[in-house]
Structure 1
Amino acid sequence: MNLAARLLNTVERIGNRLPDPVFLFLWLILGLVVLSLVGAGLGWSAVNPVTGEVLQAQSLLSPANLERLFIGMPRTLADFPPLGIVITIIYGASVAERTGLFSTAIRGALLNAPRFILTPIVVITGMVSHHASDASYVVVIPLAAVIFAAAGRHPLAGLAAGFAAVSGGYAGNLFPGASDALILGITEPAAHLIDPSYAVSIAGNWFFIVGVVIVFTPIVWFLTDRVIEPRLGAWSPHDAAPVAAEEKTPLTAAEKRGLAWAGLTILAMIAVWAAVTFLPGSPFVDADAEPEQRFNPLYRSLVAFFALTFFMAGAAFGAGSGSIKSHHDLVRMMREGISQLAPYIVLAFFAAHFVAMFNWSGLGPILAVNAAASLRELALPTPLLLIMVVLVSCIFDLFIGSASAKWSALAPIVVPMFMLLGISPEMTTAAYRMGDSVTNIATPLMSYFPLILTFAQRWDPRFGLGSLMATMLPYAGAFLVAGLIMVAAWVALDLPLGPGVGVHYEPPPPATASQLPADGGIAGPAAPPQAAAAAPTR
């Protein structure tokens, strides 16, 4: 057995021993309780360089924290930012998905793709299909193989391109959606550990995720056409496994009518939102804010915009195509969409309490201040610091598939730490998302890996796990290199990450310089009570 095979077996063995993410959070909470007892007993403390506030470790078994935990348990869950955001998006997205809007639009885009630009169309469609959530895995990837076969190309090359786009390009998209709401919703409470007034919008990574599409599309195009397809060899249609006829059926007249109605509805929604934005006294514009912050209400309204747009476009498609017969169908679709969130809601309960208890313990800001001071002494370039975030995210992704589970655990540490180093929460989130994305296709522990293998074996029954790994590793390696370069370049060029969002974080100055210790924010023994009382409140 060669070194690569032994490494893959080791990763699989370790990954299979990991508990469910729910129990990962339970163990994290228990460890956090023990650490809070140690920190409070030893008097761990620091000074927040942003506010001048003295930070002290608090025992999670103190009467005040036990009261917060048990009496406030329902409120802790309800106040978990990603939960409300994701549920709001799903109300609309479930209608768009269940009426057939998403799958029909994807099918229409791929079926009509010219042979020459087939690969990039598959890639872009795959990345945009993230709005359809897990439906993209069961629609785009097998359909890409069908379309390649129909064009006389190797179907497994199409499957590989679709898998690389949907899973390896998970950080990319043309418009923000549910995944942005979920991940950035976790970022905001982590940023509040340092700056309670900091606001994160669903559009906070918009330009970055478009950049991922621009960078990754030619990579997949080149690798698919010049490396993967030649390696797969010649393909004969007579050797293919049977393919469901409906997968390559052209769009019906009703489906085309539904898409036309949905397109007009989307244009109308954009026009309405634009009109409300530019009306005098618009609730989407804060005329009293700084120029770069005036449209923050608009950006924060995008959750509602996408939810309503998905709902209205889905309803219009359903009415045009005939997949909706009455308003009862709309209600049923929303119920079904929410019911599929059950696994996430279970996880959210434990993630919400971990995030809240991490905040109550005071350990996050203390750790962030100390770590920031240590990194500042190393004087590492900012791009190199964010490359470390990408690599850590890649390693975690080999063992834990849930992006939200990993980010819920990492965000309370890395977001405040990088804020103290002058890096915005959105930039830290973008670096994490890049690392979480690129290794999805390289690990057999990814939840959809067996499904993709099943799709591949429909075309070649001899295509095994190793074959799929060997096919996808060139994409993963290229994505990792490109992702590291992209993150470093984004910081070096100081490019905007989204509307009104930059790479750097500029904290408001503390009240007086005398309140900050000479070592850059690290305090030894706890400061006297009057020091904390003198710190400004925000």
Structure 2
Amino acid sequence: MKMKQKKGIFDKFLDGVEVVGNKLPHPMTIFVMLSLIVIAVSAICSKLGVSVDYTGINRKTFEIGEIHLKAKSLLSPEGIRYAFNSMTTNFTSFAPLGTVLVAIIGVGVADGSGLIHACLRKLVLSTSPKLLTAVLVFAGIMSNIASDAGYVVLVPLGAVIFMSVGRHPLAGIAAAFAGVSGGFSANLLIGTLDPLLGGISTEAARIFIPDYVVLPTANWYFMVASTFLITFLGTYITEKIVEPRLGKYKGSHKEELGEIGGLEKKGLKRAGISLVIYLIIVLAVTVPENAIFRENGSITNFMRNGLLPGIMFFFMIPGYFYGKTVGTIKTDKDLVKLIGNALGGMGGYMALVFAAAQFIKYFSYTNLGTILAVRGADALEAIGFTGFPLIVGFVVVSAFLNLFMGSASAKWAIMAPVFIPMFMKLGFTPEFTQAMYRIGDSSTNIISPLMSYFAFIVAYAQKYDEDSGIGTLISTMLPYSLCFLFAWLLLLMVWYFAGLPIGPGVATTMQMAL
């Protein structure tokens, strides 16, 4: 008789988190309740005159100014008008909604035609099972170059990839999510967030040194090292903690692998040719100095706004040619049907997003998130730590504030003018302070319900396990969050005490920089 393995304290803790979390109402109901709480708290804070004064940076103009911010009530006449008049636009302007729906059009064609299934079979059959988790986590980290595409493309694929080799799909979702979101500040390349944070850091640094410049490559060396660290940790946690805890998958969804037939090989070849031609066209309209998508010589706008449609066609074009070859797409009606089926499956997600969007927008309108961030920054400044304990304290506070204010750039616009000058006076370079912030911000992305794509991940997990909920996701992702935070701090400690450059020509301390 097989003895039942005794659970450790940490496993029992995670089980408790899951049980408590899943006993909560449906995620949509939770967001409605949270919205009501924000309404009530905003009224109380407004009545009490809660406010903050801080030096802030305008994220559009990068101008520094003194800001006086008061809590705004949603129960005032103005607040009530806002709550009702903005309800529709809160939903339609919710950034992840458009991102998901646009991307799903292309992914739906590639999936419905059978291309994704064929590619996954080829990937699984040609990749060692020992490397599958590492490849998925690493791909998640690298997907951040394409803005938010990793959330809507790679996380769902993670479930399918794991299920196709008999592994739990929720473990695949967790591994991909850990790479995409937990590894948000790790990469081998410079992404769209780097120049944005660098611009904010530059203006904050000029409070202390007028001509200081923080380049987009400010944290590059540290990011490269972090990529390998997060890939290793994400792989280890998935295989040693998450999968054993989830156990064997007993759901109804199945993915079976089989050899790729002759017609499928022909379809893959045509899909590959069409994709190469498409990529050549994309390079032609983005790379040359006078390219169509360059505005004043820059492709920043394309990277921020045009990349997503580009990703949609990245999947749609080869999906169409594959479908025409194997017979899954015969007419335009078949193509439209595949798109309709893909969008039709997003109904539950859109219902959840409607409630989540109201909560997040209300939280922003009332200024409660900003007030909490500023008060937290003030508290850390008042502690008076020095040296590495101060670094740890700042990273932890950044991680904590990320649970209440999702946007990395919005938080940094508030925190940078406070902490960059303060840390410069204590001897830390602005680039090093920015690296500290990014560690805390990334580590708790995967357990924060305020993270924009959290609702999407919950909804997608329920596709494979109807009993899963917010508690399941948080308890599954908590080991990643804690380990990433701890290991990143250790890496930062090595960097700090060894005096290693965190980017090209960028030191950790002002003395070394000078």
TM-score bucket of the superposed structures, by smaller chain: 0.5 to 0.7
Tell whether the 8 Å contact from 1:169 to 1:212 is kept in structure 2 after alignment.
Answer: no
CA RMSD, aligned part only?
Answer: 5.1
Aligned partner letter, 1:314: G
Aligned partner letter, 1:13: V
Compute the displacement of 1:107 (Å): 0.9
Partner of 2:109: 95
Per-residue CA shift, 1:266-300, capped at 9, x if unaligned? Answer: 22222222211245554533428xxxxx3311311
TM-score, normalised via structure 1 length: 0.61
Tell whether the 8 Å contact from 2:348 to 2:459 is kept in structure 1 after alignment.
Answer: no
Tell whether the 8 Å contact from 1:36 to 1:60 is kept in structure 2 after alignment.
Answer: yes
Partner of 2:134: 123
Tell whether the 8 Å contact from 2:72 to 2:365 is kept in structure 1 after alignment.
Answer: yes
Compute the displacement of 1:304 (Å): 1.6
Tell whether the 8 Å contact from 1:110 to 1:122 is kept in structure 2 after alignment.
Answer: no
Q: Does 1:303 align with 2:308?
A: yes
Q: Does 1:79 align with 2:93?
A: yes
Equivalent position SS for 2:296: coil
Partner of 1:313: 318
**CA–CA separation in structure 2 for the residues paired with 1:136 and 1:89:** 13
Aligned partner letter, 1:168: A
Matches within 5 A, 1:110-149: 110-113=124-127, 117-121=128-132, 123-125=134-136, 128=139, 132=153, 135-136=156-157, 138-145=159-166
Equivalent position SS for 1:247: coil
Per-residue CA shift, 1:137-184, capped at 9, x if unaligned? Answer: 553223334xxxxxxxxxxxxx38x8756423423269x99xxxxxx9
Partner of 1:25: 31
Q: 1:307 to 1:386 in 2, by over 3 A?
A: farther
Compute the displacement of 1:481 (Å): 5.0
Equivalent position SS for 1:33: helix
Compute the displacement of 1:74 (Å): 1.6
Match of 2:175 among 168, 176, 192: 168
Q: Does 1:386 align with 2:395?
A: yes
Tell whether the 8 Å contact from 1:384 to 1:488 is kept in structure 2 after alignment.
Answer: no
Partner of 2:213: none
Matches within 5 A, 1:260-409: 260-279=269-288, 281-282=290-291, 284-287=293-296, 294-300=298-304, 301-378=306-383, 381-382=390-391, 384-387=393-396
Compute the displacement of 1:383 (Å): 5.7
Partner of 2:49: 43
Tell whether the 8 Å contact from 2:284 to 2:291 is kept in structure 1 after alignment.
Answer: no
Select between 309-318 and 483-492 the one with higher mean Cα deviation: 483-492
Compute the displacement of 1:108 (Å): 0.4
Compute the displacement of 1:59 (Å): 1.4
Tell whether the 8 Å contact from 1:172 to 1:209 is kept in structure 2 after alignment.
Answer: no
Aligned partner letter, 2:79: N
TM-score, normalised via structure 2 length: 0.63
Match of 1:257 among 266, 272, 276: 266
Aligned partner letter, 1:317: Y
- Give the number of the structure whose alpha-carbon radius of gyration is greater: 1
**CA–CA separation in structure 1 for the residues paired with 2:325 and 2:278:** 17
Aligned partner letter, 1:295: I
Tell whether the 8 Å contact from 1:173 to 1:209 is kept in structure 2 after alignment.
Answer: no
Q: 1:92 to 1:41 in 2, by over 3 A?
A: same
Q: 1:428 to 1:329 in 2, by over 3 A?
A: farther
Match of 2:16 among 5, 10, 18: 10
**CA–CA separation in structure 2 for the residues paired with 1:142 and 1:221:** 17
Q: Which runs of 5 or more structure 2 residues have no equivalent in the other structure? A: 1-5, 57-64, 141-149, 185-191, 204-218, 245-249, 421-429, 449-457, 466-476, 509-514
**CA–CA separation in structure 2 for the residues paired with 1:208 and 1:85:** 29
Compute the displacement of 1:16 (Å): 2.8
Matches within 5 A, 1:190-201: none
**CA–CA separation in structure 2 for the residues paired with 1:477 and 1:123:** 19
Compute the displacement of 1:79 (Å): 1.9
Aligned partner letter, 1:171: A
Per-residue CA shift, 1:328-349, capped at 9, x if unaligned? Answer: 1221111111122212211221
Q: Does 1:34 align with 2:40?
A: yes
Compute the displacement of 1:105 (Å): 0.9
Select between 31-40 and 361-370 the one with higher mean Cα deviation: 361-370
**CA–CA separation in structure 2 for the residues paired with 1:426 and 1:338:** 39
Aligned partner letter, 1:124: V
**CA–CA separation in structure 2 for the residues paired with 1:245 and 1:37:** 50
Aligned partner letter, 2:68: V
Q: Which runs of 5 or more structure 1 residues have no equivalent in the other structure? A: 146-158, 178-183, 196-204, 232-240, 289-293, 394-405, 440-444, 453-471, 497-502, 504-538
Compute the displacement of 1:125 (Å): 4.7
Tell whether the 8 Å contact from 1:383 to 1:488 is kept in structure 2 after alignment.
Answer: no
Compute the displacement of 1:353 (Å): 1.5
Match of 1:68 among 82, 88, 98: 82
Partner of 1:466: none
**CA–CA separation in structure 1 for the residues paired with 2:368 and 2:355:** 18
Equivalent position SS for 2:334: helix
Tell whether the 8 Å contact from 1:168 to 1:476 is kept in structure 2 after alignment.
Answer: no
Equivalent position SS for 2:52: strand
Select between 213-222 and 310-319 the one with higher mean Cα deviation: 213-222
Q: Percent identity?
A: 24
Tell whether the 8 Å contact from 2:175 to 2:234 is kept in structure 1 after alignment.
Answer: no
Aligned partner letter, 1:42: L
Aligned partner letter, 1:252: G
Equivalent position SS for 2:55: coil
Aligned partner letter, 2:378: A
Partner of 1:524: none
Equivalent position SS for 2:285: helix
Aligned partner letter, 1:298: F
Tell whether the 8 Å contact from 2:376 to 2:397 is kept in structure 1 after alignment.
Answer: no
Q: 1:110 to 1:213 in 2, by over 3 A?
A: farther
Equivalent position SS for 1:347: helix
Aligned partner letter, 2:302: L
Tell whether the 8 Å contact from 2:171 to 2:238 is kept in structure 1 after alignment.
Answer: no
Compute the displacement of 1:389 (Å): 5.3
Tell whether the 8 Å contact from 2:161 to 2:172 is kept in structure 1 after alignment.
Answer: no
**CA–CA separation in structure 1 for the residues paired with 2:326 and 2:344:** 25
**CA–CA separation in structure 2 for the residues paired with 1:437 and 1:61:** 32
Tell whether the 8 Å contact from 1:284 to 1:296 is kept in structure 2 after alignment.
Answer: no
